[in-house]
Structure 1
Amino acid sequence: MAWKNPWYDASKAHHTPEGFCNLEPDPRQPGDLDRWRKERKAQGLPFPPQNGYEAFKANWFQSADLSGDDDRVWWLGHAAMLLRLNQRYLLIDPALSLRASPLPFAGPKRKTPAPLRISQLPRLDYVLISHNHYDHLDLTTVKRIIQRFPEVTFLVPLGLETWFRRRGARHVYPLDWWQSQRENDLTLTAVPARHWSMRTLKDRNRSLWCGWVIRSEAVNFWFSGDSGFSENLAEIPRRLGPFNLAALPTGAYAPKWFMQSSHMDPDHAVSLWRLMGQPLTIPVHWGVFELADESLDEPPVELSRAIARSGEDNGRFAPWKIGEGRSLRNIDQEKS
């Protein structure tokens, strides 16, 4: 019997009877994946960073410092984020294991270490997941979270609640695009992204993908999730902005003919940054896993070039070190 989407709502364009879809057409054609793999293998891509992996790590990595009690945001590498808001801690897409893979001995391996361990967190209130790909939803990290913080609340896209409950999560809230979870001054909203989902050979697009907007007294933060560029994303700042903090993906974009429907390149990210009013923005989705053809150190170089081409280099969209944290106390004035 064919699987049917139990959340299907015919009034929503991103719902289908078989699962979920993007609002934009997919330019990929049958055979494109095999073509990319063959080209990548033939060219020996990706190349190592220009000065080697150890030099890259020395330049772009630091351990996360969780001291203090101010509102603060940390980039933990790739898409993983940590926020401290009014003494509440929130993790986003915490893939902190050695590999982004269902197998412990194969699949994309970390080239830079995780800047913190779950055991270092003094508390954890929320975990937000954007989608089910292994570089964003990591089983080992989730198990460690549930063991140390059994009362933590998971917010997930539609279709992932059962996965979390089967692994012992007690508080799981599945959300569709534009739905919110609220607690006092904190509002957490799932928002659209242009991507896809798949964790096994049989579940493609059976669960949703999303970005997140986190609003508190100190911050209005848009984490775009794993997303290709789309003019439809402008609806997010129109509805929920203005934002004073954002995280936009700037890696896993090469070759563009294959990756553009799922991943932004730096030029697309800069266009979106300008569209939303140029808030302080953290470039994410780079620096840890070699998922595409560009070298590990290429995204920050290409981002700098994209910013220069835009003519609007105000210092508010520039690479952070993995593990770097910044206070949100004066976020609206930082490097403006």
Structure 2
Amino acid sequence: MTQQTQQTHEPGAATTTAVAAGEPAAPAPLAPPRPPLAEPRPLGEHRVWPRTFHDRLTAPLPGLKALARFAREGAVRPGPEGLADIPRLPYAPAPLPRVDTRTLAVTWAGHASWIVRVGGLTVLTDPVWSRRILGTPARVTPVGVPWESLPRVDAVVISHNHYDHLDAPTLRRLPRDTPVFAPAGLGRWFRRRRFTRVTELDWWEGAELSGVRFDFVPAHHWSKRTLTDTCHSLWGGWVLTDPDGQRLYFAGDTGYGHWFSRIGRRYPGIDLALMPIGAYDPRWWLSDVHCDPEEAVQATLDLGARRMAPMHWGTFILAAEPVLEPLTRVRTAWEKAGLEREDLWDLPIGASRVLD
């Protein structure tokens, strides 16, 4: 009797069973139950964390051999041809859209900085309004939204402590009672700067503010801000869910890997994924910690997200790819994946989109 192979796919797993030809197929194995969401943690809770989060790394940090290779051959800036397109980088500042408590809207200020309007709140992600960050040339496109044009900021979410995501001069502009949602171990950085409403979360933990839930989720990255604090605080992304169930995922900074399908299973129905697509070349050096455009599209599929908005490109020159390449590659990858063009929110810096 001949055998046929039947595969049942559940995100991140595959099960194969043999089926005799001409016989009815056995029922497909049930997908594993979705893990329940954790009970919300109290806002501003003081917690004790381990000294290091090295055990959360997806891949080892570069060793001496990798550092020597990078010093020998690693390019950290595009060549003249790759820089020639800087004047063509998309930049179209416009007034923020009007919203109500049931509106989900996003405005790209540049890099990983977004103004997210969700559940009646205005939330900033990784706000960097400075012209220059430590160790990097000045931004090649201006901030898309003047600080003075922002509405009252109701909350800030931080993905990790690298300088292009945690900018002290920008955060000093905020009232010290602004609610901050931060990775585990990073609260002391904010408290030293007299922020009074800091909520630190571990992976898969959440908290609520005015009916909006903030969940901290894993990422393939790392943390470091000084010579002595490598991986002393956690890194990750955020899932924001409003009272009507609209859901946004902010990836922060991440390489590609297994976490995306797990996030998608635990938080189904993501309406929009804010995904990094830049700072990926050379791949041998950066693939563990930064998605390239094709991986960002695949990660969006793994998440089960309905739409994707690219970020982490066109603002600071952090790697060797040509400045416009991330945009052209992500558009091509989106088309090759057979996805609807209107679901790729490839915004110019300063532009907004409102979820219908």
TM-score tier after normalising by the smaller chain length: 0.7 to 0.9
- Choose which of 88, 104, 125 in structure 1 pairs with 2:154: 125
Task: Indicate yes or no: 2:235 matched with 1:206.
Answer: no
Task: Name which of structure 1's ranges 183-192 and 152-161 shifts more when overlaid on structure 2.
Answer: 183-192
Distance 1:18 1:88, change over 3 A: closer
- CA-based RMSD: 2.2
Deviation at 1:120, TM superposition (A): 2.1
Task: Name which of structure 1's ranges 250-259 and 78-87 shifts more when overlaid on structure 2.
Answer: 78-87
TM-score for both structures, normalised by structure 1:
0.84
Q: Which residue of 1 aligns with 2:129?
A: 96
Contact 1:303–1:318 (CA under 8 A) maintained in structure 2:
no
Q: Which residue of 1 aligns with 2:65?
A: 31
Matching residue's letter, 1:128: V
Once the two structures are superposed, residues 124-158 of structure 1 have per-residue CA deviations (whole angstroms, 9 ceiling, x without a partner) of 1100000000000001000012xxx3321011001
Deviation at 1:28, TM superposition (A): 4.0
Matching residue's letter, 2:166: L
Cα separation, 1, equivalents of 2:91 and 2:206: 34
- Choose which of 294, 311, 331 in structure 2 pairs with 1:267: 294
Cα separation, 1, equivalents of 2:323 and 2:301: 25
Deviation at 1:255, TM superposition (A): 0.8
Task: Indicate yes or no: 2:177 matched with 1:151.
Answer: yes
Contact 1:48–1:296 (CA under 8 A) maintained in structure 2:
no
Structure 2 SS opposite 1:32 = helix
Cα separation, 2, equivalents of 1:18 and 1:44: 31
Cα separation, 1, equivalents of 2:117 and 2:95: 12
Matching residue's letter, 1:92: T
Matching residue's letter, 1:113: P
Deviation at 1:22, TM superposition (A): 3.1
Cα separation, 2, equivalents of 1:45 and 1:115: 23
Alignment of 1:70-89 (within 5 A): 70=100, 71=103, 72-89=105-122
Structure 2 SS opposite 1:76 = strand
Cα separation, 2, equivalents of 1:47 and 1:294: 11
Deviation at 1:279, TM superposition (A): 1.2
Once the two structures are superposed, residues 97-126 of structure 1 have per-residue CA deviations (whole angstroms, 9 ceiling, x without a partner) of 01121xxxx533200011123332221110
Task: Indicate yes or no: 2:96 matched with 1:63.
Answer: no
Distance 1:245 1:194, change over 3 A: same
* Long gaps (5+) in structure 2: 1-46
- Choose which of 209, 218, 221 in structure 2 pairs with 1:195: 221
Q: Which residue of 2 aligns with 1:13?
A: none
Once the two structures are superposed, residues 230-263 of structure 1 have per-residue CA deviations (whole angstroms, 9 ceiling, x without a partner) of 1232111100122011111111111111101000
Task: Indicate yes or no: 2:141 matched with 1:139.
Answer: no
Cα separation, 2, equivalents of 1:46 and 1:231: 33
Structure 2 SS opposite 1:90 = strand
Structure 1 SS opposite 2:294 = helix
Distance 1:165 1:117, change over 3 A: farther
Distance 1:139 1:184, change over 3 A: closer
Cα separation, 1, equivalents of 2:228 and 2:211: 40
Contact 1:242–1:277 (CA under 8 A) maintained in structure 2:
yes
Contact 2:216–2:239 (CA under 8 A) maintained in structure 1:
yes
Cα separation, 2, equivalents of 1:112 and 1:86: 30
Task: Name which of structure 1's ranges 275-284 and 154-163 shifts more when overlaid on structure 2.
Answer: 275-284
- How many residue pairs get aligned? The number is 306
Q: Which residue of 2 aligns with 1:333?
A: none
Structure 2 SS opposite 1:291 = coil
TM-score for both structures, normalised by structure 2:
0.80
Deviation at 1:323, TM superposition (A): 1.1
Alignment of 1:267-286 (within 5 A): 267-286=294-313
Contact 2:77–2:320 (CA under 8 A) maintained in structure 1:
no
Matching residue's letter, 1:296: V
Contact 1:21–1:205 (CA under 8 A) maintained in structure 2:
no
Contact 1:78–1:287 (CA under 8 A) maintained in structure 2:
yes
Deviation at 1:37, TM superposition (A): 4.1
Task: Indicate yes or no: 2:299 matched with 1:257.
Answer: no
